[in-house]
Structure 1
Amino acid sequence: MRRPIAALCAGLGLLAATFPALAVEPFVLQDIRIEGLQRTDPGTVFGALPFRVGDSYTDEKAAAALRALFATGLFKDVRIEIDGRVAVLVIEERPVVESVSFAGLHEFDKEQLLKSLKDSGIGEGQPFDRALIERAEQEIKRQYLARSLYGAEVVTTVTPTQRNRVAVTFTMSEGESARIRGVRIVGARAFDEDTLTNLMDLAPSNWLSWYTKNDRYSRAKLNGDLESLRNWYLDRGYLEFAIESTQVTISPDKQDIAITVTVREGQRYTVTGVTLAGDLLGKDTDFERLVTVRPGQPYRATDVTETVKAFTDLYGSYGHAFARVEPRTEIDRENARVAITLQADPQRRVSVRRIDISGNARTRNEVIRREFRQLESSWYDSQRIKLSKERIDRLGYFKDTSVDTNEVPGAPDQVDLDVSVSEKPTGSLMLGMSFSSADKLAFTASVKQDNVFGSGNYLGVELNTSKTARSLVFSTVDPYFTIDGVSRALDLYYRTSRPYNSLGDQYQIATPGAAVRFGIPFSEYDTVYLGVGVEQTHIGSDAGIPNQYFDYRFHYGARSTAFPLTLGWSRDSRDNVLAPNAGRYLRANAEWSLAGDVRYLRTNFQAQQYIPFWQKFSLGLNAEVGLGYGLGSRDYPVFKNFYGGGLGSVRVFEQNSLGVIDPTGAYIGGAKKVNLNAELYLPIPGSGNDRSLRVFLFGDAGNVWKASDPIELSSLRASVGVGLSWVSPVGPLRLSWGRPVRYEPTDRIQRVQFQIGTVF
């Protein structure tokens, strides 16, 4: 006869508790049996038991066994019964989730939500737990609130199915997003309300809110906006500015939101003096040079923060990783003055014991370590660590990179650097098409891997089928061909092109070739590129061939072989490659062919400058000069000509239509090119701080000349107009409309132009 020894009050869903119904004297177990298992492996049960056959059985061990079994989360009820000297475990398994589905889901991606639920313990094949379901409901509601869907409801339905399984269905009633209908700032006197609300990302609904979504309330966004207000005042001398209250009011129907911010400005303070105090390591002049706070000027928190950071970085460059610089203010409210004292304490100097790297499941350790300029067993240098992090970020392999400094227990003069990276996909398979006013419909395909096999090497194959330029390119780059950081790039390509507006449908220029380039780092920011290549250019049949191509083919043959040497340099300090607002880009390239059938020198110089100014306006300037020369007794090859006109050159003029026009009507470019562009970027009303969509005014000038003609400014073509720039999901898109200012009657005018993929 079985005797029940312990049971779980499982219906309460709490911790396992044992209730001895009939205490037994300890005895030696002869056998252990399990009843009620359907899916769980018996080994899981036996592995959780604190006793085995042949062990002494006690009530204490029984209670421990029940706690261990319930801790697995697999069982709804467990009890132990004694049959003679045999322990019988009677088990009722929890239901298993057979499926998870959603009804009424529109706001979130289904696959991402399924993955999130599975990570939380709710997924197909996992034990069903009502408590987890309730927590999931609350988390989904919280996510809806974060998207301003305050009326959203989530109802969970659990449907039992065969073999002790359940189907879980989350039914969503999302409703409409609540929109911000008004933002008020109360208490402002020094600045008008419109000026202050324009500093905020959150704004009432407007004609562009469908794109910017700045009318959707978010606590995180509001906190950021409040910080922007605070910085605005602190940078203009209002040292005692404070945000006294923030009220967010939701209408009864949960569709409208009103935000009211109450501020206290205080008075404006002027800096009377800046004093340096503490241990400056005997380098007082170096520290004084870093002070950007100027006496006689209004107090600016940004200047104080930048000075403190500059001090900390300078201390760090001397090995003082834990230096403290505290700005102290002495306020004279009666005269609205403030004196600033920078109290510095370098603390101890430390060295780096070890650099540990984590998070790189794919990328090899050496790929990250070779970017580090801070070495192990050397003095801590914050400048080298900052540079190391920047170099790792520039690899493009990681979403996130952090470098933490940790003290070494028992070694106060040593620290460890923990480098944590979060990898992102570095390969791409692209199949698509593009359309432009010049090339019409073009198909493209490419397979690229920036970090092949985690080695840091690049491998890519590209195909382009545009009307005027078709290509098949195979490329590979080894960024550390040598241990000193010299890179090597190999290219194999086959390109075809036809002069724009060529009359012959069968006519084309075919250029197969190969090249190798080496990048030699001369500094952390400057790299010089040297290369050599071989290419053969075949000028096609006579059908529709332009006269200048015919003449070149007549004098030098249909096939021309060249061995060009290349030399290049570039420096890029723009704050954003696709939508720059500040910074500079410089580039110089030269292609020099001294051997083979073709002898020429082709140079290209480009400079870009972006200047932010008043509020959210910015100015972009671009200048580009291209020069080509024939060497020896040979003419400059016509198939190496520069082209001008259209987007990326002089807008309003048809793409590649500037320069020499062949008697056949083909635009064949020229050996000299000048291109000047200016763009004034304007903030779009309602766009907030978003820069992916911008309107700009432009003015362009430029032209192309043949080798025998001088560059004359009087022959420059010019245009002005307005454009729209959008960083779209498929690449940068630019649309422009304008009119010519300087032109000739024979020029081809195209007032509206657009293209995907061009930047300037």
Structure 2
Amino acid sequence: MAVADSFKIKDIRIEGLQRISAGAVFNVLPLQVGDEVDAAALARSTRILFKTGNFQDLTLFEDDDVLIVQVSERPSISSIELDGNKSIETENLMEGLSQAGLSEGSVFQRATLDKLKVELERQYIAQGRYGARVEPEVKPLPRNRVAINIKIKEGDVATISGVDIVGNTVFTDEELVEEFELKKSHMFSFFKGDDKYSREKLSGDLEKLTSYYQDRGYVNFRVESTQVSVTPQKSEVYITVNISEGERHTVNEVRITGDLKVPEADLRRLILLKPGQTFSRRLVTTSNELISKRLGNEGYTFANVNGVPSLSEKGDNTVDITFYVDAGTRVYVRRINFFGNMKTRDEVLRREMRQMEGAWASGQLIENSKVRLERLGFFKGVTIETPRVPGEDDQVDVNYTVEEQPSGSIGASVGYQQGTGFVFGANLSQSNFLGTGNRVSIAANRSDIRNTVSFSFMDPYYTIDGVSRGYSLFYQETEIDSNDIISNWASDRLGGNINFSYPTSDISRINFGVGFENVTVYASQQSPIQVWELVGYDLRDYRFNGETTQSKEFLNFPLTAGWSISTLNRGVFATRGSSHSLSATVTSPGSDLEYYRLTYQAQKYFPISNDWTFRLRTEIGFGNGFGNADQIPFYDNYYAGGFGSIRGYEDRSLGPRETQSPYDFGTARAIGGNLLTEGSAEFIFPMPFVKDSRSFRTMFFIDAGNVFDTHREEYEFEFDQLRMSAGIALSWITGIGPLSFSLSKAFNDQEGDDVQTFQFSLGQPF
């Protein structure tokens, strides 16, 4: 800047511009033609222009009453390249550079780049990479531009060679360090990576240490200081934590005060700390949450509860705890919205709601509604948001966001089986048909000797209050004149049923049904005794398998009743809760056969952590005759083996076999029995390398069970006849249905058992 005395600006001329327009300078320059200026005004204008960050040098001076603004622009950034970064993704680094003012097209400032270099190295040091180096390189380009190349040498994460705690007298170092995520290098560190230093992990461990002491009564515990020492090679670190334990305190008095809105006695029952009990910060926090939820159930969604401990005036290592309650204003629900349901209709979701629009916002009802959506089995997950209505203090919207998943299966098959010849099949099963929530299943199979077709439909909301109605039809025809038949018996079956289910609560239902079944049984002279006992010896003759064949027709009218209860958190791939169901089938008066079947099924999930779960499952069934019958017909027996039963054995292959009739016969096959016992124990774990495990399930399992016949001495129940298997299994929700695989080893298998190590299934999840 050069000026002798004040002068009146006759004109303004800008020199040195390359990239920046003159208009951009005039918009910032606080001087204009006609102004009287002096040295102070020019100095002030210079500072204003410098603050724009566009110039690395500029001069203002006067030439014959003309103000000359001579500038030297900062270069613009043409490109930014990163090289060597692995632990921090390029996208995240670029975002950080942009926030710091370094992006393609922006003005380059060396000071900003130098600060960014220091910040990047600090971030790597926070990861334990003490040898990390960041080396920026600036390359000039034509037209006042630069290219920036940032070379990064991350180095290795320093390993922890020692963790020492100083000042502890109540608990040993081993007890305290056991709570830490960071640990001294050990033989499993290669897999767990818990010996890699990280500043964030250390901060978390110090929080755990504080909680460990305060949960055991040490109210005044504090971490005095922390030292992290690095070896000269920067490959190892030693952590030293200095602590002050203080004295152990017990609870003297518990008070609750504030705007309670509900009876104090109701809230006091939710406080987990009692006088005389050892103080625990965790129990204080949990009590805060329980009181907040209780108030939330009454519509006080934004209640604030804070339990504050204070040293008792007695001075005897006791504390008084006061819970300050600010219930706030009761909040009402203006609108319930659904997002993410591209296929499922809104009405299907809305009928599961227990929180109503216009009513006060109940945290329990909002959460119950979410659980009911997850139990449908249509969605991977459901999230809730309760934003305030703009301009209103007492209204919220409840937004449910769902992520849909395949809710059915479709398949076709072609194959060849001994005894049935070529088999062609197709099936369609959809539990959310056209987004209506209705369940539809259609299947058809054709082979050289047998044709089958089935159809079922169920409307879970036949009435508005949740009464469901379902019906099904099935037909099976056997070509008894086929020379391909090698079995000793066959049957034709035609039937159907209608079923109604009534909700008795949000988690339980009872159901009733009635059906009909027409069965024609064909028996050769080589049929098992059980078949001959059913069909008799004086019936119509057919030529079956080259021999005279007997047949008999039965018409039955089964009545069904059942009860079920479920607290599972999801309809598919549950992780917590339990379910129980009990069903009974009995033939009605007027049926040709008199018999009944009772079946009990149960399962329970035991969460171990967020990702690990233990599951127990069982199924028990028993059937028998009554009146003139002493047993159930063989074609309605229980079967076991395969997926959903005892894995490691072929489907429906376990249990009693065909027994010799007075006429010798060929190879025996499983004919089922009237007593079923099954059980499974499964250890469910997250699938490696899969972040979203909601569509995958992997597990170790042990299955046990068998089918028995209480009417045949050789097949009566005995513990040593239970078949067992163990293995690993995977199930995956695909676009065409659940796809399941298992690898298993059979135990206690006997001669003649059909063992199957590898099994797969399409359409049946675990």
TM, length-normalised to structure 1? 0.62
**Shift of the alpha carbon at 1:604?**
7.3
Change in CA separation of 1:46 and 1:111 when aligned onto 2, cut-off 3 Å: same
SS in 2 for 1:261: strand
Match of 1:610 among 597, 606, 609: 606
Indicate if the aligned counterparts of 2:646 and 2:725 stay in contact, CA closer than 8 A.
no
Indicate if the aligned counterparts of 1:351 and 1:379 stay in contact, CA closer than 8 A.
yes
**Shift of the alpha carbon at 1:154?**
1.7
> Where does the alignment leave 5 or more consecutive residues of structure 2 unmatched?
418-423, 502-508, 510-563, 588-592, 626-631, 659-665, 686-696
Change in CA separation of 1:216 and 1:356 when aligned onto 2, cut-off 3 Å: farther
1:746 counterpart residue number? 752
Which whole-Å CA distance do the structure 2 matches of 1:126 and 1:728 have between them? 48
2:161 counterpart residue number? 181
Which whole-Å CA distance do the structure 2 matches of 1:206 and 1:507 have between them? 65
Q: How does 1:386-405 map to 2 (within 5 A)?
A: 403=386
1:644 counterpart residue number? 641
Which whole-Å CA distance do the structure 1 matches of 2:57 and 2:479 have between them? 84
Deviations 1:73-125 (A, max 9, x none): 77777899999999999987765544443333333444554566456654555
2:616 counterpart residue number? 621
1:249 counterpart residue number? 229
Change in CA separation of 1:708 and 1:489 when aligned onto 2, cut-off 3 Å: farther
Match of 1:571 among 545, 559, 566: 566
Change in CA separation of 1:120 and 1:360 when aligned onto 2, cut-off 3 Å: farther
Indicate if the aligned counterparts of 2:639 and 2:653 stay in contact, CA closer than 8 A.
no
Q: How does 1:651-690 map to 2 (within 5 A)?
A: 658-659=654-655, 673-678=676-681
Match of 1:518 among 447, 460, 475: 460
Indicate if the aligned counterparts of 1:546 and 1:664 stay in contact, CA closer than 8 A.
no
Which whole-Å CA distance do the structure 2 matches of 1:135 and 1:543 have between them? 88
Which whole-Å CA distance do the structure 2 matches of 1:163 and 1:729 have between them? 57
SS in 1 for 2:289: helix
SS in 2 for 1:167: strand
1:586 counterpart residue number? 579
1:25 counterpart residue number? 9
Which whole-Å CA distance do the structure 2 matches of 1:507 and 1:199 have between them? 67
Q: Residue 518 of structure 1 aligns to which amino acid in structure 2?
A: P
Change in CA separation of 1:726 and 1:744 when aligned onto 2, cut-off 3 Å: closer
2:487 counterpart residue number? 547
Change in CA separation of 1:649 and 1:459 when aligned onto 2, cut-off 3 Å: closer
Which whole-Å CA distance do the structure 1 matches of 2:51 and 2:345 have between them? 39
- Indicate yes or no: 2:722 matched with 1:717: yes
Q: How does 1:324-403 map to 2 (within 5 A)?
A: 324-329=305-310, 331=312, 338=318, 340-346=320-326, 349-352=329-332, 379=360, 381-384=362-365, 403=386
Which whole-Å CA distance do the structure 1 matches of 2:176 and 2:571 have between them? 26
Deviations 1:606-648 (A, max 9, x none): 32142769xx999643223478999xxx97978x9864357x6
**Shift of the alpha carbon at 1:256?**
1.6
Identity %: 24
Which whole-Å CA distance do the structure 1 matches of 2:623 and 2:58 have between them? 87
**Shift of the alpha carbon at 1:294?**
4.0
Deviations 1:484-537 (A, max 9, x none): xxx624657768799xxxxxxx999886867564369999xxx88655567777
Indicate if the aligned counterparts of 2:160 and 2:183 stay in contact, CA closer than 8 A.
yes
Q: Residue 547 of structure 1 aligns to which amino acid in structure 2?
A: S
Which whole-Å CA distance do the structure 2 matches of 1:66 and 1:475 have between them? 74
- Aligned residue pairs total 654
Deviations 1:532-581 (A, max 9, x none): 56777798998987838x713xx34xxx786776968663456999795x
Indicate if the aligned counterparts of 2:657 and 2:668 stay in contact, CA closer than 8 A.
yes
Which whole-Å CA distance do the structure 1 matches of 2:173 and 2:197 have between them? 19
2:82 counterpart residue number? 102
Which whole-Å CA distance do the structure 2 matches of 1:733 and 1:177 have between them? 40
Match of 2:437 among 478, 485, 488: 488
1:299 counterpart residue number? 279
1:435 counterpart residue number? none
Indicate if the aligned counterparts of 1:628 and 1:672 stay in contact, CA closer than 8 A.
yes
- Indicate yes or no: 2:176 matched with 1:171: no
Which whole-Å CA distance do the structure 1 matches of 2:7 and 2:483 have between them? 106
Change in CA separation of 1:518 and 1:189 when aligned onto 2, cut-off 3 Å: same
Could you say which structure has the larger radius of gyration? Answer: 2
**Shift of the alpha carbon at 1:363?**
13
Which whole-Å CA distance do the structure 1 matches of 2:44 and 2:369 have between them? 53
1:437 counterpart residue number? none
Deviations 1:261-289 (A, max 9, x none): 34444454454664555665572432333
Deviations 1:391-443 (A, max 9, x none): 899996889765567997xx9xx34548799x89x5xxxxxxxxxxxxxxxxx
- Indicate yes or no: 2:198 matched with 1:198: no
**Shift of the alpha carbon at 1:174?**
1.9
Q: How does 1:133-152 map to 2 (within 5 A)?
A: 133-152=113-132
Indicate if the aligned counterparts of 1:179 and 1:216 stay in contact, CA closer than 8 A.
yes
2:514 counterpart residue number? none
Which whole-Å CA distance do the structure 1 matches of 2:25 and 2:382 have between them? 41
- Indicate yes or no: 2:208 matched with 1:228: yes
Which whole-Å CA distance do the structure 1 matches of 2:28 and 2:252 have between them? 79
Change in CA separation of 1:669 and 1:313 when aligned onto 2, cut-off 3 Å: same
Q: Residue 677 of structure 1 aligns to which amino acid in structure 2?
A: S
**Shift of the alpha carbon at 1:153?**
1.3
Please report the RMSD computed on the Cα atoms of aligned residues, expressed in angstroms: 6.7
Change in CA separation of 1:229 and 1:720 when aligned onto 2, cut-off 3 Å: farther
SS in 1 for 2:285: helix
Which whole-Å CA distance do the structure 2 matches of 1:49 and 1:538 have between them? 94
Which whole-Å CA distance do the structure 1 matches of 2:413 and 2:707 have between them? 26
**Shift of the alpha carbon at 1:461?**
7.6
SS in 1 for 2:136: strand
**Shift of the alpha carbon at 1:211?**
3.9
SS in 1 for 2:437: strand
Change in CA separation of 1:387 and 1:654 when aligned onto 2, cut-off 3 Å: closer
SS in 1 for 2:283: helix
**Shift of the alpha carbon at 1:702?**
1.5
1:703 counterpart residue number? 706
Change in CA separation of 1:372 and 1:714 when aligned onto 2, cut-off 3 Å: closer
**Shift of the alpha carbon at 1:463?**
6.5
SS in 1 for 2:460: strand
Which whole-Å CA distance do the structure 2 matches of 1:221 and 1:757 have between them? 43
Change in CA separation of 1:577 and 1:356 when aligned onto 2, cut-off 3 Å: closer
Change in CA separation of 1:303 and 1:324 when aligned onto 2, cut-off 3 Å: closer
Indicate if the aligned counterparts of 1:566 and 1:589 stay in contact, CA closer than 8 A.
no
- Indicate yes or no: 2:96 matched with 1:154: no
SS in 2 for 1:585: strand
